[in-house]
A and B are shown apart, each in its own frame.
Chain A
Amino acid sequence: MLRHAAERIALALPVLLGVVLVGFLLMQVVPTDPAIVRAGPNATIDIVEAIRRDLGLDQPLHVQFGLYMWRLVQGDLGVSIINNVPVSQELGATIGPTLELMFAALIWSIPLGIGMGTLSAYLRGSWLDRLIMAISVGGVSVPVFFVGLLLIWFVGFQWQWLPFTGRQGPLWTLQGLRGVALPAITLGGVFIGPVARMTRTAVLEVLSADHVRTARAKGLTETAVVLHHALRNALIPVVTLIGLQIGFLLGGAVVTETVFSWPGVGRLAVGAITSSDFPMAQGTIIVLSGGFIIVNLIVDLLYGVLDPRVRGA
């Protein structure tokens, strides 16, 4: 099990390296010149040139990348070219809120999605099944920002039920909970549909398995059959599929944070990219893709917990 985890981490490293390289190259393609950004609108050519030299931008590309990597392995992500704040410091301050938002979004949406999907499978063919699936498909087709804007407009602005700008405090305070409510509903809401549909398919698949027939032959109630056999086994593919959807969720987080001015990595990334703050943008890309890799690792380990056949191997 531990060896398995170590292997997965080792496999993830080249992926991360690739991400850094692609991020670096993307920054080169963008037509803005970081030196000019840094120098400001009134700088002379000489000052811009000096800054360019200072940032190492006069060097050939491979030297620049080598230098960047060399600092990176030492834990140095550079400083913002906008305000000179170390990138790692900004990331450190924004990772917490992003994790908080993710947690608040997933803690209700995954159980609800799994519950809806299971109910749908249990009542397959009924009007409730059709209703749940219609809602799920509808939920997938609505863009995240649209859900966010609707919630802001009605719940936040018109009815004034909940705050909708920024983080209000830590999650364990009432203020903090109220503050995270709308972003978490937005981000979690778009996740329910896919989870419900995946769960329904997986549960239906298991329901036709031989061992479910055995469970019925024992005289178990249909509820016990569905929960204890079909759902329990269906969790194996469902967890995998949820893991695969995490990229989708990270994208949603970037949008949600921007819409709700949530002080997280996603909003930092958008800000850095729009202001051509290259080191900062690069840092957020590393953190977001690192998060993606970590989630997949967790899914992999969960797989072992859920499936005894994997555990034994």
Chain B
Amino acid sequence: MSLLQVENLRTVFDTRQGAVVAVDGVDLSLAAGRTLAVVGESGCGKSALALSLMRLLAHPGRVAGGRVLLEDEDLLALSPAKMRARRGSRVAMVFQEPMTSLNPVHTVGAQIMEAMRAHDRSLSKSDLRDAAISALARVRIPSPERRFDDHPHRLSGGMRQRVMIAMALACQPRLLIADEPTTALDVTVQAQILDLLRDIQAETGMGLLLITHDLGVVAETADEVAVMYAGRVVERASATDLFADPQHPYTIGLLGSIPRMDLETPRLPTIEGSVPPPFAWPPGCRFAPRCAFADAACEVAPPPLAMLAPGHEVACIYAPVDA
């Protein structure tokens, strides 16, 4: 049974120019204790997807259709009060910007205690304090008793992201959504944070939905991968299969753009062009304008995901390609 099952999710932004479709019929599934990475270039709808799962989209965004099953409960069908009760306790989220995601006027400890109290009113002040300090210790923050009384501006970006993780994990959620949790951090800190997430996952058996545009991060942490392009999933596979045998031309292009340290002069082959904004999507395959293999047949309709092998799906009419 899967922990998270997303079916045909659609998210739109109602702008003055009309509805902008940011997520267009996305299917995902994630088992407990596993890591699903959602990869794609900037603007492909990763954050819109994550916020849709949390039902935290800000106006003018809204979920226009689909189902989000968390342990068989459709989050999209819950009343606002029930959904509030799920946030933090069943599904938690870590955001991309550690510098602005904590409230500058409250101490780190107060913000963690608040997360716990929101779901358990019976905890005493000293219970809360102890629990918050051990939450800080769990994300390997040195001298957590002292950090407890610090305000966020006294901490580095990496430390703040640890605090964010401690806060997200304070109520032992079954699913953690991490939206580019390491993008704003430097490389060493990035590796530490990913290690931390992996260890905590091994300890608690939670599912991790990791959003990133960094294939290096995917290779290091993911069990499953969903590649997103212009609001749609274009390829789904286990991480091993995806790296060994990428099928969608976009995935192939992305893999080609990982910097190779072993080459004398590191070349960065990139995919020409950029992700078109939702209002400029072509009628057919959205990647067609940038695709080396595209022809007239690609411009008819967006190809659906088709199963190539068990656990490997691709949305391309020319897949499988022969190596």
Contact = CB atoms under 8 A, between A and B. Distances in A.
A209 B100 CA distance: 8
Interface string B93-132: 1010100111111100000001100110000000000000
B221 interface: no
B104 A309 contact: yes
Interface in A175-210: 208-210
B87 A215 contact: no
A211 B104 contact: yes
Interface centre among A215, A218, A222, A229 (most CB of B within 10 A): A218
Given A219-B119, A309-B104, 19 more contacts: A210-B101, A214-B95, A214-B167, A216-B56, A217-B93, A218-B88, A218-B92, A218-B115, A218-B118, A219-B85, A220-B114, A221-B84, A224-B118, A232-B103, A233-B104, A306-B105, A308-B105, A308-B151, A308-B153
A58 interface: no
Interface in B145-186: 151, 153-154, 164, 167-168, 171
B54 interface: yes
Interface residues of A, number: 26
A213 interface: yes
Interface in B179-203: none
Contact of A220 (B97, B106, B118, B153): B118
Interface string B58-101: 10000000000000000000000000111111001101010011
For B54, B84, B89, B167, which residue has the most chain A Cβ atoms within 10 angstroms?
Answer: B84
B118 A312 contact: no
6 contacts: A217-B168, A219-B89, A221-B84, A228-B114, A232-B103, A307-B105
A238 to B, nearest CB: 13
Interface of A: 208-222, 224, 228-229, 232-233, 236, 306-309, 312
A224 B118 CA distance: 9
Interface of B: 54, 56, 58, 84-89, 92-93, 95, 97, 100-106, 114-115, 118-119, 151, 153-154, 164, 167-168, 171
Contact of B86 (A211, A219, A220): A219
A1 to B, nearest CB: 16
Nearest to B98: A210
A208 B119 CA distance: 24
**9 tightest CB-CB pairs across the interface, nearest first?**
A219-B88, A219-B87, A210-B100, A218-B115, A308-B151, A211-B103, A218-B88, A217-B93, A219-B118
A233 B111 CA distance: 14
Contacts of A210: 95, 97, 100-101
A218 B100 contact: no
A221 B82 CA distance: 11
A96 B143 CA distance: 52
B243 to A, nearest CB: 32
A215 B119 CA distance: 13
Nearest to A209: B100
Question: Mostly helix, strand, loop or mixed at chain B's interface?
Answer: loop
A308 B104 contact: yes
A202 B119 CA distance: 29
Contacts of B115: 218-219
B225 to A, nearest CB: 24
B176 to A, nearest CB: 11
A74 B111 CA distance: 53
A215 B154 CA distance: 20
Nearest to B83: A219
Contacts of B102: 211, 214
A309 B103 contact: no
A229 B103 contact: yes
A218 B153 contact: no
A229 B115 CA distance: 13
A220 B119 CA distance: 8
Contacts of B95: 210, 213-214, 217
A216 B103 CA distance: 12
A217 B92 contact: yes
A228 B101 CA distance: 15
Contact of A213 (B56, B92, B106): B56
A274 B153 CA distance: 55
B101 A218 contact: no
Contacts of A211: 100-104
A21 to B, nearest CB: 41
A220 B101 CA distance: 15
Nearest to B97: A210
A210 B92 CA distance: 15
Nearest to B102: A211
B173 to A, nearest CB: 10
Nearest to B89: A219
Contacts of A214: 95, 101-103, 164, 167
B107 to A, nearest CB: 8
B114 A217 contact: no
B103 A215 contact: yes
A23 to B, nearest CB: 41
A171 to B, nearest CB: 33
B151 A312 contact: yes
A233 B265 CA distance: 50
Contacts of B167: 214, 218
